[in-house]
Structures are given as C-alpha cells and as structure tokens.
Amino acid sequence: MRDNQIQEAMAILSEAVRKWPTPAVTIVATQDHDPFKVLVSCILSLRTRDQTTAEASARLFGLADTPERLSRLSVARIEEAIYPVGFYRVKAEQILEIARQLTEEHAGRVPSELDELLKFKGVGRKTANLVLTLGFGKAGICVDIHVHRICNRWGYVVTRTPEQTETALRKKLPSEYWIVINDLLVGFGQNQCTPVSPRCSSCPLYQLCDRVRVGKAR
C-alpha cells in the first residue's frame, strides 16, 4: 500500500466495519465516557474474547464503578466478578492496585498523560493509548496485534514490534486517523484480515494490499 492510498483504505474500512461487532472497550467508552472504565475494561480485554470482556466489565462495574469503590473490594471478589477473562487472578490484583493508587495518589482520577499512565502496573503502551484516545479524546495511536500485523501486511509500514509500528505510524499516518485506526483494524483483523488464512478473496482492500508474508489465504 502506497502512502497516498491510506485515505482510500480508511474510507473503505469505515464502511466495511459496520457489519461487524463493535469492540467491547469501545462500547464501554461510548456508553460512559469514563477513563477509569476504559482503563479497567482494556486490562480485562487482553487475551480475552470481546463478549467475555463485555460481560466481565458489566459484572465488575455493577459492584464498583469508581476507583474509590473498587479499592474497597477484595481480590477474591474481583476475581469472582471478572472470571473467566484470561489471567483473571493476575488482572484482579492489577486492577485493585490501580484503583488504590488512583484513590490515594490521584484523587480518584485517571491521569490524562501517557507517561503517568505507563507507571501503573500492567499498563503498557497499547492500554495507555487506548485510555487517552477513547477515555479522553486525546491524540494517540493504539497499536495492538491487529494494527501491527495488518499495517505490515499492507506494506504501509515495515516494523518488527508494535512499539516500532506506533512510532512509524506517528510519522506517516494522517492525524485524523490516529484515534480511529485501532477500532477499524480490530474489527477488520478479527473478521476479515485474520492472522492465519485471511479472507483475501472477499477483502474490500485486496487491490490496495501488498499481502506481505501472506501464505495460505481464503
């Protein structure tokens, strides 16, 4: 994919994703516009299916929907609420620690700066950028496995890690697509441009894609 084709690709994707489910974290952000809920649901979503993430988020926020309230729960209670998300025991401890830190050190408010978010245990660049973009509406590029894989498969970037992909996209992706690219490529990556055997024959971006390292395809 040439640099000047990205606008066309984004326009096509914006239409294509309408037929696929909205990512669970995006639904949480749209419903409540609460950076804390975005942060927690994003942690829950790591290595977890969207439906499981949505159900676990709903159960947990039904018990406690602020850092102060959540900080008063036990680890066991949080585990019970979020099961069966992936690594639920580890995530329960992480979420409780974050809630306590927010309550004690940040007056119960989620920081709106990338460097501050990265100080929390279990919060990497993907999660931090998602909180900034979906929770605060600030400029940022959330690069998960789908964004990293697909941008390289397109030939739009040539990188080895998600961190390198984020850096490359910050240099070349028009700023109007920074916030939306994650939502677009998550749906696209889960339903069309899958990691193994992507659905190339029915892909609306077939003519724009370089299909880098695509072996077997459908």
Q: Any idea which residues carry the catalytic annotation?
A: 126, 144
Q: Is the peptide bond before 198 cis (omega within 30 degrees of 0)?
A: no
How far apart are the C-alpha atoms of 155 and 138, rounded to whole Å?
27
DSSP-assigned letter for residue 73: S
Query: Are the beta carbons of 133 and 140 closer than 8 angstroms?
Result: yes
User: What are the tokens at 97?
Assistant: 């620690």
Q: Measured between alpha carbons, how far is 142 from 23 in angstroms, rounded to an integer?
A: 13
3-state secondary structure 140-196: CCCCCHHHHHHHHHHCCCCCCCHHHHHHHHHHHCCHHHCCCHHHHHHHHHHHCCCCC
Residue 76 CA to residue 89 CA, distance in Å, equals 8
CA distance 193 to 106: 40
Q: Decide if 121 contacts 97 (C-beta within 8 A).
A: yes
Count of CB atoms situated within 10 Å of the CB of 121: 10
